Chain A
């Protein structure tokens, strides 16, 4: 990687950390550079300790870094936590009475007041950073003009310029030289978080009904669906609880709407009853489980991959399901579209398994690289609805694939009957044991058909070697950067990213693992849940797990250190 500058902005909730981060990423993107933002925040409205890391590069940036080159501490009280992580040659800015390098005393409040509003200290700080990076301030003017109204536009411009002027005079030439980004041709990327990308992917996949009960970190998905719904005729409703959210979605899905719900582990626990209902009624529905550390309330705003085994086994009774685990915002956009389609094709619940890290990861994306797949509908209508000789429609007709043609209520001449009880082909409840056997087998046959359409894992690195690292979901890009770090050191390491964790791609994994001297899973959980699934599904040897369960995501440098220790 050529340029690699990591900026950390920290402050209490309500001090405008997010505003700084948002402004810097938009200026950086406008200046033709790439970035990756990770968010670390506390579960409170005011105060506490929030931080965002904005890692900037000339090539696509896909993971964060712990060491900061530039630190802006909006709350100086947080300096003891963050200053030690400023790397050699880096600098820090804070509004403190006096300072020694690498910390510089930046009179942020004074500049803000001079600009016309004391709340603009964060924008003054942004100006200082922009100056150090050599980013033209005019890029920010376009952002201010579109985001703000009235004289606040001018006040923001003034604060930004006061900050930049201060940096020009007070930061040593050497520092400004070191971090100056060479001029590049401007690009016009879009900016997406994992949550936004997933929600927009669902919309692109034809989603028309969404329900949910707010729960971090899934709420961001609901807000995109609620706010963008009007332009695509999507109905969003905030439910009284997660039980209602999923049940409403299943009701809407029964009428033929593509539906989604989004929550985190605790909310999903409440949805489990309805998950089983979707399995029994063979109703398509997409459920986003954005994981956070548990058990119970756990750490509400932090990250973990601790619910893998939970989503694989959730729901009473046996029924097929699909579990997809996107590894980046781009993949979230793609897999959410496919989830919408596959849910309807196979009439199964589809779980999109993400976590706080991916939900809140923000990257720049060239919109031309996002594929909008043509919509395929799988619902039968009018004359194509199969009927018995008596003219009846059988919602759960026995078929070879296990998939029964799905019609919806409102079709003249037929009725659509569904039941949470075991049922006959026409949907009416039945306690007949022979029927039970045939229906169980029909549903499971559908699972076999589904397994035949697995979205394969992604493999990078040499075809065989000393070590293969295996992960699912949000660890994708961190593992990939780690693999490259290790490859540069001459190590023969490959990486596998599972985009689909159920039905488990057993054949692929069983084919890869034996080609390497050792296999480790990399998991943001304590028990190595993926390793357990691989062992039970493929019978191959997994030598261990690199775990992280402090509530924070992996970073490539730290992961590389952990892996070296295991080789």
Chain B
């Protein structure tokens, strides 16, 4: 890990955990933004992934399980000058926070979302996350998961997300570049990061991913949404990595008439403005 953002926080991840690669990727991406640490806010929920912000010396909002996105949206709406990044787990974002995932894509607040996708709940010791494949056996599903997996990239594309990418924890340099693009993208940007769980996921291992992942060719047309959807749903034969789709559109902050200007915390409320609001409620006008 590079020095600039280093903290002495002990994250307690298992040796070999994909989170280390993701942490490396995050810090490399932050370095590349050129932003000062006081200009960056890392937001997370709860879980092993959600502890990542404590290892990075920037502003940190480590909130509740599932609720990283609404907190991040509130931060960005109130002070659009901050670079707001959410980094949290798949159970957090796609399970407990599924509703917020759907609606913040619609909202298109300028947030970069990094999801540590290891298909498993690590902190509670081995239950399937929403992205787990059917048939996967967990500590609460001895005869296998019945529900089908949640397809994050396809859902994001269906909702019109402007930046949809997939990274891989074992390739921090590549993932870091995706993260940097996501941070720089004006609007809601998703980077789903494939992450082996060395303790609880014995199927989707480094070896397994090594055989499955395949970077998208340089000539992939990132503006082709239908093609992106096809790629997003690929899993059995190969798993595409890279930017599947990218198309800019106006952000929430650009469209909401009251967001541009001073951060909300620095705005004044002149007494005359309040008086004017009261007097507009005269019983009889004139």
Which residues of A are interface residues toward B (Cβ below 8 A)?
25-26, 29-30, 139, 142-143, 145-146, 188-192, 196, 200, 203-206, 208-209, 211, 228-237, 239-241, 243-245, 247-259, 273-274, 277, 281, 364, 367, 370, 372, 374-375, 379, 408-421, 427-429
Contacts and interface: CB of A to CB of B under 8 A. Distances in A.
Contacts of A206: 269
Interface string B98-110: 0110110001000
- Among A26, A229, A245, A257, which residue has the most Cβ atoms of chain B within 10 A? A257
A249 B54 CA distance: 23
Given A208-B78, A235-B78, A239-B70, 11 more contacts: A203-B274, A230-B258, A232-B274, A233-B264, A245-B70, A252-B75, A254-B75, A255-B264, A256-B79, A364-B283, A367-B275
Contact of A256 (B39, B264, B284): B264
A188 B279 CA distance: 10
B256 interface: yes
Contacts of B100: 240, 243-244
Interface in B181-214: none
**A-B CB proximity, top 9 nearest:** A256-B265, A251-B74, A29-B283, A257-B264, A248-B74, A252-B78, A240-B103, A251-B71, A409-B59
A409 B286 contact: no
B73 to A, nearest CB: 6
Contact of B284 (A30, A230, A250, A253): A30
Contacts of A408: 79, 265
A409 to B, nearest CB: 4
A427 B54 CA distance: 9
A317 to B, nearest CB: 12
A414 B38 contact: yes
A439 to B, nearest CB: 15
B278 interface: yes
Contacts of B278: 190, 200, 367, 370
Given A247-B67, A409-B41, A257 B263 contact: yes
Given A248-B74, A413-B38, A231 B273 contact: yes
Interface of B: 7, 9, 36-39, 41, 43, 46, 51, 54, 57-64, 67, 70-75, 77-79, 81-82, 99-100, 102-103, 107, 256-259, 261-269, 271, 273-279, 281-286
A55 to B, nearest CB: 16
B58 A415 contact: yes
B284 A142 contact: yes
- Among B41, B258, B269, B284, which residue has the most Cβ atoms of chain A within 10 A? B284
A408 B59 CA distance: 9
Contacts of A412: 36, 38
B269 A232 contact: yes
Contacts of B36: 412
B67 A243 contact: yes
Contacts of B266: 256
A231 B276 contact: yes
B60 A427 contact: yes
B279 A190 contact: yes
B279 A250 contact: no
Contacts of B257: 230
A273 B64 CA distance: 8
Given A239-B70, A257-B263, A277-B63, A209 B285 contact: no
Contact of B274 (A204, A245, A253): A204
A229 B281 contact: no
Nearest to A138: B284
B81 to A, nearest CB: 7
Contacts of B72: 251
A244 B103 contact: yes
A419 B73 contact: no
A248 B70 contact: yes
Nearest to A408: B265
Given A200-B278, A248-B77, A243 B265 contact: no
27 contacts: A190-B283, A191-B283, A200-B274, A200-B278, A203-B274, A204-B269, A211-B74, A230-B257, A236-B258, A237-B73, A237-B107, A240-B100, A240-B102, A240-B103, A247-B74, A251-B73, A252-B74, A252-B78, A253-B74, A257-B79, A274-B67, A408-B79, A410-B59, A410-B82, A410-B263, A417-B60, A421-B46
B238 to A, nearest CB: 35
A349 to B, nearest CB: 14
Nearest to B278: A367
Nearest to A417: B60
A256 B263 CA distance: 9
A189 B60 contact: no
B283 A30 contact: yes
B269 A255 contact: no
B256 A372 contact: no
Contacts of B99: 240-241, 243-244
B274 A367 contact: no
A265 to B, nearest CB: 21
B283 A189 contact: yes
Contacts of B259: 235
Nearest to A257: B264
B277 A203 contact: yes
- Among B43, B257, B277, which residue has the most Cβ atoms of chain A within 10 A? B277
Contacts of B37: 415
Contacts of B46: 420-421
A255 B283 contact: no
Contacts of B75: 251-252, 254-255, 409
Contacts of B285: 142-143, 145-146
A330 to B, nearest CB: 12
B83 to A, nearest CB: 10
Contacts of B265: 208, 255-258, 379, 408
B34 to A, nearest CB: 15
A219 to B, nearest CB: 18
Contact of A372 (B62, B274, B282): B274
A251 B9 contact: no
A192 B285 CA distance: 15
- Among A206, A409, A427, A429, which residue has the most Cβ atoms of chain B within 10 A? A409
A195 B39 CA distance: 38
Contact of B63 (A29, A236, A247): A247
Contacts of A229: 258
Contacts of A241: 99
A428 B281 contact: no
A73 to B, nearest CB: 25
- Among A241, A251, A418, which residue has the most Cβ atoms of chain B within 10 A? A251
A255 B274 contact: no
A235 B258 contact: yes
A272 B87 CA distance: 24
- Among A145, A191, A247, which residue has the most Cβ atoms of chain B within 10 A? A247
Nearest to B39: A410
- Among A234, A277, A417, A421, which residue has the most Cβ atoms of chain B within 10 A? A417
A139 B258 CA distance: 36
Contacts of A364: 283
A211 to B, nearest CB: 7
A242 B61 CA distance: 20
A249 B73 CA distance: 9
B258 A190 contact: no
Given A247-B74, A254-B75, A190 B282 contact: yes
A418 B258 contact: no
Contacts of A367: 275, 278-279
Contacts of A30: 283-284
Contacts of A236: 258
Contacts of A252: 74-75, 77-78, 264
